[in-house]
Chains A and B, each alone.
Chain A
Amino acid sequence: MGRALSIDSLMPYFGVVLLIIAGSFLFPQVLSADYLTQQLQIAAFLGLLATGATVVILLGHIDLSVPWVLTGAAILSTALVGSGNPVLSALAVPAALAFGALIGVINGIGVAILRIPSMVWTLAVNSMLLGLAVLNTGGFNPRGESSALMITMASGDLLGLPVSFLIWIAVSAALAYFLTRTPFGRYLRAIGFNEKATFLSGVSTPSVVFAAFAIAGMCSALGGVLLAGYANQAYQSMGDPFLLPTIAAVVIGGTSILGGRGGLFGTIGGALFITLLTSILSVMQIDDAWRNIIFGVIILAMLLFQTLRKGAAP
């Protein structure tokens, strides 16, 4: 797949290398294995969310319900573990994933059947989930704790690499296989370009939309489980700071926000880049204001570079 390795998708990797080199001049510890593996661990949280978002964006849609699917999954899983019942505790992760898939299907129904613009419908779903969470927890941080499994998933190591990173890469690899080697992936991109023509080619387009949103929901839920494992708790609004970086990671990775074009390889780079950028800015103890500004400017610069390059070589 020549397209999967387009220059657009390689750009964030160049960015990562540049960041590491530049960061190491200021802070030599950036080059340490500890620091880098920690970045991989943290990047996995954003990366899983961005993986799901990539699938939906390839479809030509967007999922704004990420924050509260994530939070809901975290609340659900920690509550099940917190119940003390070993059966419920074992079900925590599968239940969270099922929850994500369910919300994904609800998103898909609004988008594919009711034909509501995804930006609006997923936003409404997000606010309903927020309402449910508030009702359920009384507006306080929910009680509960993470299971040993969840903590291992978020913070464990395997062969010197963080488990969360391995999970992320495994999920990405599995989905990449689906996107490039199965009809589902072909349909997904085809719908992203032209849904009508795809439907007329004898494709059940609503099922593809359902599946894509369900995958995205499960990715968001998995991200929530990992974050809960990382913090050993769930808390209100834990997902809110992730929404915009998620979309940024996808588009920096070369996936077109209009659908059809792009892939998961770039998204992995995008998530790594954004995580590293955030981390280096905070290591440099730059205050919040400048961090926001630099973050926005760098994202814009990368996007401008993408389009300028295309403008130069049509």
Chain B
Amino acid sequence: MADSPSPLLEMQDISMHFGATKALDGVDFTCNAGEVHAVLGENGAGKSTLMKLIAGVLQPTYGQLRVEGRDVFLGSPKAALDHGLVCMFQELSLVPDLTVRENLLLGAPGAGLGWLRGQGLDKARAVLTRIGGTDIRLGARVEDLTLPQRQQVEIAKAIMKKPRLLILDEATSALSASVVESVFDLVREERDSGTAVLFISHRFHEIEALADRVSVFRNGQRVATFMKGDHDYGAIINMMVGQKIEELFPEKQPGAHQSDIVLDVRNFSWEDQVKDVSLTVRRGQIVGLGGLDGQGQGTFLMGLVGLLRKTQGTTAIAGEPSEITSPKSAKHRDIGLAYIPEDRKTEGLILDQSIQENLELAALGRADLDAGDPTLYAGSLEQLALKHGGLELPVSSLSGGNQQKVVLAKWLALGPRCLLLADPTRGIDVKTKTQIYTILRQLADQGTAILLLSTDYEELIQLCDETHIFFEGRIAASLSGDDLTPQNIIAATLNVSAIPQAAHA
């Protein structure tokens, strides 16, 4: 090792402390030129912190970074860029009010605060064309682009900077499979020309497709580094979680399809985004909503809790026709709907307030509940095993998974009859996921009706009793029992006719 040439990036004994939390604890990590190095770990394992240190967004509490053997201090993203360390961030680093061209020029190599000449734009254009972004006009404002288009621009922006080390942090999460493939081709090309690539993804098949080497992080430490193929899926999961997960999903209960109907939606339509959707959710049922992003399933959930104006169709709760015009009316005791929005940081929680205050916020408006009563929350907090250093601490001090637990507990305190969840496990570690699955199934068994929007096929299959797949605002397929297979779901999300052999059970 002493004789080998210096790795492109070397991190030695790196620690990063946020107050009492040790996000990274004495980590050694190296990344070689001409290699795709995948980084795996649960949320809160320290991956993102690691990336932010390399990108110069954060500075380590202790430890030393070296680029090609020389000590460096990365005091700002600018400094990291000057060393050729380019990060494509999970939270997109595009400025919404500027055009694509201006975003590409922003912080481009050689562009200081002076006159911009537009060098490198050709390269960016070429990259965009290669990864399926031909329809992205350079004059369009980034705000008007779709999420996949923004990710494409972000990739072009990163490649344009001619990186020596390229970090892809969940860089392709919104892209379709064919675009992802072309991005991977591009990344392989970069690798072959000597660029080091750090790759973070939650999708195992992507790591399978791209990585040369894999490092696994857990609790702020690097637990293993190995060549791809040395360990199988199960072994890697075990390394990430630190214990064996026998059963991710709780068992379904038979017979729920005969119980009382709690939520009965008929002919629901809104603008041209939701078209004539009818469905029911019964006591004890978990009903899934699936489909590609933006097919109307998320909008449909918003409509149910009164976030949309001028909707058509009827909603009945436990047989009573109900007019739900706002989240306030939805949470009323006579309705009993609880809506857990998709973005916990901006919609589900008030990050600056304490855990306690967040827990109480939904119950406060209910005359029949005493929001200050700790027993309202104690049960679900215990069941979800919320890890916290005191309920008076700000909720922002919790990890993502624990924050989602607070959102759940906040709404469960109301004892809702029907729980609507918008992708509650997105970006959450495996262990928290299982805890959430368990509590959802348990709630269902106690009689709650649950409507679960998910982007995870496994959830739609393993957790849900019935799943509706949306396509262009309509329910393209309703699957249950033996029909609930990955093939059928994929077919329905693409709106191709299902495999004909599936007979009704």
A residues apposed to B, CB below 8 Å? 183, 186-187, 189-190, 193-194, 196-204, 260-261, 314
- The contact string, 1 if C-beta is below 8 Å from chain A, for chain B 322-336, is 000011101100000
Q: Cβ of B120 < 8 Å from any Cβ of A?
A: no
Q: Which of B227-235, B360-368, B442-450 contacts A (4 or more CB under 8 A)?
A: B360-368
Question: Does the CB pair A204–B364 fall under 8 Å?
Answer: no
Question: Does the CB pair A197–B349 fall under 8 Å?
Answer: yes
Which residue of the partner chain, among B347, B352, B361, contacts A196 with CB atoms under 8 Å?
B347
Question: Does the CB pair B326–A194 fall under 8 Å?
Answer: no
Question: Does the CB pair B353–A202 fall under 8 Å?
Answer: no
Chain B contacts for A186, CB-based, 8 A: 357, 360-361, 364
Q: Cβ of B339 < 8 Å from any Cβ of A?
A: yes
What distance in Å separates the Cβ of A1 from its nearest Cβ neighbour in chain B?
12
What distance in Å separates the Cβ of B311 from its nearest Cβ neighbour in chain A?
17
What distance in Å separates the Cβ of A307 from its nearest Cβ neighbour in chain B?
17
What distance in Å separates the Cβ of A135 from its nearest Cβ neighbour in chain B?
39
- The contact string, 1 if C-beta is below 8 Å from chain A, for chain B 54-77, is 000000000000000000000000
Q: Cβ of B348 < 8 Å from any Cβ of A?
A: yes
Question: Does the CB pair A203–B350 fall under 8 Å?
Answer: no
Question: Does the CB pair B353–A193 fall under 8 Å?
Answer: yes
Question: Does the CB pair A199–B327 fall under 8 Å?
Answer: yes
**Beta-carbon contacts under 8 Å, B145-198 to A:** none
What distance in Å separates the Cβ of B102 from its nearest Cβ neighbour in chain A?
25
Q: How many residues of B contact A (CB 8 A)?
A: 24
Chain A contacts for B5, CB-based, 8 A: none
Q: For the complex, give the distance between the alpha carbons of A260 and B352 in Å.
A: 9
Given A186-B364, A190-B361 in contact, is the A201-B410 Cβ separation under 8 Å? yes
What distance in Å separates the Cβ of B367 from its nearest Cβ neighbour in chain A?
10
Question: Does the CB pair A183–B352 fall under 8 Å?
Answer: no
Q: Considering the complex of A and B, which 5 residue pairs feature the smallest CB-CB distances, nearest first?
A: A202-B331, A202-B327, A183-B364, A201-B361, A194-B350
Which residue of the partner chain, among B326, B330, B352, B364, contacts A193 with CB atoms under 8 Å?
B352
Q: For the complex, give the distance between the alpha carbons of A183 and B410 in Å.
A: 16
Given A200-B347, A202-B362 in contact, is the A190-B353 Cβ separation under 8 Å? yes
Question: Does the CB pair A197–B348 fall under 8 Å?
Answer: yes
What distance in Å separates the Cβ of B269 from its nearest Cβ neighbour in chain A?
23
Given A183-B365, A193-B353, A194-B350 in contact, is the A200-B339 Cβ separation under 8 Å? yes
Q: Cβ of B351 < 8 Å from any Cβ of A?
A: yes
**Beta-carbon contacts under 8 Å, B304-341 to A:** 326-328, 330-331, 339, 341
What distance in Å separates the Cβ of A25 from its nearest Cβ neighbour in chain B?
43
Question: Does the CB pair B348–A200 fall under 8 Å?
Answer: yes
- The contact string, 1 if C-beta is below 8 Å from chain A, for chain B 352-376, is 1100010011101100000100000
Question: Does the CB pair A196–B346 fall under 8 Å?
Answer: yes
Given contacts A194-B351, A194-B352, A202-B330, 14 further A-B pairs with CB under 8 A are A183-B364, A186-B361, A190-B361, A193-B350, A193-B353, A196-B347, A197-B346, A198-B350, A200-B339, A200-B348, A201-B410, A202-B365, A260-B353, A261-B352
List 5 A-B residue pairs with CB atoms under 8 Å apart, sorted by A's residue number.
Answer: A193-B352, A194-B349, A202-B326, A203-B361, A261-B352
Q: Cβ of B390 < 8 Å from any Cβ of A?
A: no
List the B residue with the shortest CB-CB distance to A184: B364
Chain A contacts for B330, CB-based, 8 A: 202
List the A residue with the shortest CB-CB distance to B353: A193
Question: Does the CB pair A200–B364 fall under 8 Å?
Answer: no
**Beta-carbon contacts under 8 Å, B407-425 to A:** 410
Question: Does the CB pair A197–B347 fall under 8 Å?
Answer: yes
List the A residue with the shortest CB-CB distance to B339: A200
Q: For the complex, give the distance between the alpha carbons of A311 and B65 in Å.
A: 26
Chain B contacts for A196, CB-based, 8 A: 346-347
Chain B contacts for A189, CB-based, 8 A: 353
Q: For the complex, give the distance between the alpha carbons of A5 and B3 in Å.
A: 62
Question: Does the CB pair A203–B360 fall under 8 Å?
Answer: no
Q: For the complex, give the distance between the alpha carbons of A260 and B341 in Å.
A: 22
Q: For the complex, give the distance between the alpha carbons of A201 and B361 in Å.
A: 7
Q: Cβ of B19 < 8 Å from any Cβ of A?
A: yes
Question: Does the CB pair A204–B346 fall under 8 Å?
Answer: no
Chain B contacts for A261, CB-based, 8 A: 352
Chain B contacts for A200, CB-based, 8 A: 327, 339, 341, 347-348
